[in-house]
Amino acid sequence: MDIMAEEVKETREDFEAQLEESLNKASTNEDAVWNRLEQMKEDGDVLALTVGGVVNGGVIVYVEGIRGFIPASRLSLSYIEDLESYLLKDIEDLNVWLQKDVEAKIITVEPEEQRLVLSAKAVEKEKERKERENKINELKVGTVVEGTVENIMPYGAFVDIGDGISGLVHISQLSQKRVKSPEEVVKEGDAVTVKIIKVANGKVSLSIKALEEDKEAAKKAEETGVEYTEDAAGTSLGDLLANIKL
């Protein structure tokens, strides 16, 4: 083999070696990126992203340089009729498209399939849950509110008290009388007045029975000349009357 042929061979081998090293490095870097994406998924990170395009059935976003997909069904809590709304035309220049920003969580990471799926709906749902939780925490036990019976179960009735909050009137709290079925007292759609008797673990317990007891206690107190106050409203009728001297 002459000198020129030897040099060409060495050059080719060097090129192949460099190419292989470059591909290995890119593969290693990509593996690291997919590992980070998996960690983001595990941690439930909320990612601020920009829609990069609209495709059939959803939109495209990029996370750490990896192409991700948000299905239309996971774009929002509400139904999205027109996906093109996620690409807003600039009013001054109709040839320019302004992509919408979205917040999303990673829900699927499959490096082998180069598949990355996200959900903006999950973020909205979490925000809605926290807002509802904050509203519930602001409720005060003893407050009397108006509501509408929205659902009846064998164990009681759920009442919508407004602002996206519902509470349960347990069957034992529907009336002072013994009740075998909630339908004996209320029906779906009925407007009712209820008292908040417990707020715990994101749940609200309501009572109609407590209002009946309050009304009865107030009447007894009036008959016996005892002042009945809002503080006394949280006291059972028996406890209240026990302190009354006839």
- Integer Cα distance of 66 and 47 in angstroms: 13
- Is the CB of residue 108 less than 8 Å from the CB of residue 117? yes
Question: Where are the alpha helices (H) located in the chain, listed in sequence order?
Answer: 3-43, 121-137, 209-224, 237-242
pLDDT of residue 105: 97
Per-residue pLDDT of the chain (246 residues; tens, 9 = 90+): 555 555 445 555 554 555 455 445 545 688 899 999 999 999 999 999 988 888 888 889 999 989 999 999 999 888 776 777 666 555 455 444 456 889 999 999 999 999 999 999 999 999 999 999 899 999 999 999 999 999 999 999 999 999 889 999 999 999 999 989 999 999 999 999 999 999 998 899 999 999 999 888 888 877 776 555 555 444 444 444 444 443
- Rounded CA Rg of the chain: 32
Give how far Cα 211 sits from Cα of 144, 171, 174, 197, 233, Å. Answer: 8, 15, 10, 10, 9
- Integer Cα distance of 207 and 175 in angstroms: 8
pLDDT of residue 22: 47
Start-to-end C-alpha separation, the chain: 126
- pTM, entire model: 0.61
Enumerate the β-bridge partners of residue 103. 48
User: What is the maximal distance between C-alpha atoms in the chain?
Assistant: 127
- Integer Cα distance of 63 and 61 in angstroms: 7
In one letter, which amino acid is 73?
S
